[in-house]
Amino acid sequence: MRVPGWRRAVLAVAATAALSAAGIVGTATPAAADGCYTWQRTLREGRTGADVRQLQIRVAGWGGYGGTVVIDGIYGPRTAAAVGRFQAAYGLRVDGIAGRQTYRTLYELQDDDCTPAHFSYLELDDGCGGSGWDGGPLSPSATRANALRMMWKLEALRRSLGDHPLFVTSGFRSRWCNARVGGATRSQHLYGFAVDLVSPRIGLCALAREARSHGFSGILGPGYPGHGTHVHLDAGTENPANRESRYWYAPTCGFTGPLSPAGSPPRQDP
């Protein structure tokens, strides 16, 4: 459960006072502690490490039109640009440097299990009503980690669409579930790298168009068979176990590319 912001602030002040009395407070102390992850230093271009990777997971949905933030622990120009877009989206000073204000906003956005504010592991679990993350090609922990990356991209998409609710109708699918719904045999849903999405306030075409700017390499929407009631989003270009070329295909919404190398959209999930 997320700790309220005011309580975090009280805890942080109390902790800082105690540490100051002990003479062990350093200049890198973050603005607030967090139950999921706490950054201990300012990050900018040229920095490397596990803390950069944690940041990249959370800003990967701000890669810009057709952009992808590689989760590699290296703070390069694409990561800096994504941080800048994140900062702009939340009214922060835009400098592409992750510091106190950026971290404070991230802490407010995430729950203690590291999921973003408006999405949960339960929502992205087995689309046929199961529980757990087993039954796919990857280990449950690897599949769950992929789903977390998708959730942060969805959080960015939601923000850009005015923070209107988005609902996942199908996320991770076990092999059994995928066969039951007639999914493609190598569907990204099997890896936790795909979602089917709807919104009561946002049209499907608006969803599909905006998704092009939030790190989704696979987009299937209205005009593609079986996608008249939802938008399929995936990150297949980032999946080393089943890597796919980028494809954006929603003819009703006015776009049909980039397509697969064969020149036509792949057979994807209903």
Q: How far is CA 152 from CA 39, 47, 161, 262, in A?
A: 17, 22, 14, 31
SS3 state at 116: strand
Q: How far is CA 203 from CA 76, 153, 170, 207, in A?
A: 35, 18, 18, 6
- Find the angle CA(65)-CA(86)-CA(2) to the nearest 5 degrees: 130
Rounded CA separation 110/56 (Å): 14
- In the numeric block, the tokens 């992929």 are attached to 146
- Find the angle CA(90)-CA(91)-CA(96) to the nearest 5 degrees: 80
Question: At 240, phi and psi to the nearest 5?
Answer: -65, -20
Residues designated as active site: 227
Question: At 196, phi and psi to the nearest 5?
Answer: -105, 135
SS3 content of the chain, % helix, strand, coil (to 5): 35, 10, 55
C-alpha closest to that of 46 among 71, 70, 79, 74: 74
C-alpha closest to that of 220 among 245, 190, 172, 253: 253
Question: At 249, phi and psi to the nearest 5?
Answer: -145, 105
